[in-house]
Amino acid sequence: MAYRKTPAEIRRLSTAKEHLVGCATQVVAEVGWSQASVTAVADAAGIAAGSVYQHFPSKAALAVEVFRRAAGREVEVLGEVLHGPGDPVERLARGVEVFARRALENRGLAYALLAAPAEPAVGAERLAHRRRYRALFAEVVREGVATGALPAQNGEITAAALTGAIGEILVDPLGGPGDGDHDALLADLTALALRCAGAPRS
């Protein structure tokens, strides 16, 4: 007869896994993907390195889980803003500002999600999430075109340009000392996004 975990054991393992992922996320935010070794993560979680493999078959699998959860949360927040109140132009501006502000407030993790060198499995996840960001931007741009708030354009191309530009503009502030004028950067980035989409000047 096959052994079945009890509900209490399942809960204990689930709690331990959540704790492990949380600690791994913090380690990645502090030292990046390359330095976030299994040993470093285990030390942060207060467990033996071998215990990590009770939850994940490899370091890559743990890294992918960290990326999916952290980047997935950013996609959710962006979606909430872009689907929120206001006309398409207002929501586009607010979405860019919120995304960038959240990144600048958690620079280490944001840099890891956007640009830090990572193994191929994480790189594949990064590409998949860029497509999700792009899809959200494309949706609001198309809505803006349909309502006349934005000029006729290919929403997918505009969204791709926005996604690439936002990431590229944030790389240096996120990877640097972090002592720049964030308010000015956010204003410039939002203005750029609106120009890219062809929004009329206010």
> What is the distance of C-alpha 18 from the center of its chain?
19
Predicted local confidence at residue 176, as pLDDT: 80
For tokens 């996609």, the residue is: 75
What is the C-alpha to C-alpha distance for residues 121 and 98, in angstroms, rounded to an integer? 28
Predicted local confidence at residue 83, as pLDDT: 97
What is the C-alpha to C-alpha distance for residues 76 and 141, in angstroms, rounded to an integer? 18
Predicted local confidence at residue 20, as pLDDT: 96
Predicted local confidence at residue 4, as pLDDT: 74
Predicted local confidence at residue 3, as pLDDT: 64
pLDDT per residue rounded down to tens, the chain (202 residues): 566 777 877 788 789 999 999 999 999 999 999 999 999 999 999 999 999 999 999 999 999 999 999 999 999 999 999 999 999 999 999 999 999 999 999 999 999 999 999 999 999 999 999 999 999 999 999 999 999 999 999 999 999 999 999 999 999 999 887 677 899 999 999 999 999 999 987 6
Which 3 state secondary structure label does DSSP give 47?
coil
Name the phi and psi angles at 153, rounded to 5: -170, 170
What is the C-alpha to C-alpha distance for residues 185 and 187, in angstroms, rounded to an integer? 5
Helix (H) or strand (E) holding 119: none
CA distances from residue 149 to 99, 100, 117, 202 in whole angstroms, order as listed: 22, 23, 39, 12
> What is the distance of C-alpha 33 from the center of its chain?
14
> What is the distance of C-alpha 139 from the center of its chain?
18
CA distances from residue 5 to 10, 11, 38, 173 in whole angstroms, order as listed: 6, 10, 26, 47
DSSP string for 24-86: HHHHHHHH-TTT--HHHHHHHHTS-HHHHTTT-SSHHHHHHHHHHHHHHHHHHHHHHHHTSSS
DSSP category for residue 177: -
What's the pTM?
A: 0.91
User: Do the beta carbons of residue 106 and residue 98 sit within 8 Å?
Assistant: no
User: Tokens in use for 59?
Assistant: 């370091």
Q: Pick from 111, 95, 92: which is nearest to 103 by CA?
A: 111
User: Do the beta carbons of residue 107 and residue 174 sit within 8 Å?
Assistant: yes
Which 3 state secondary structure label does DSSP give 107?
helix
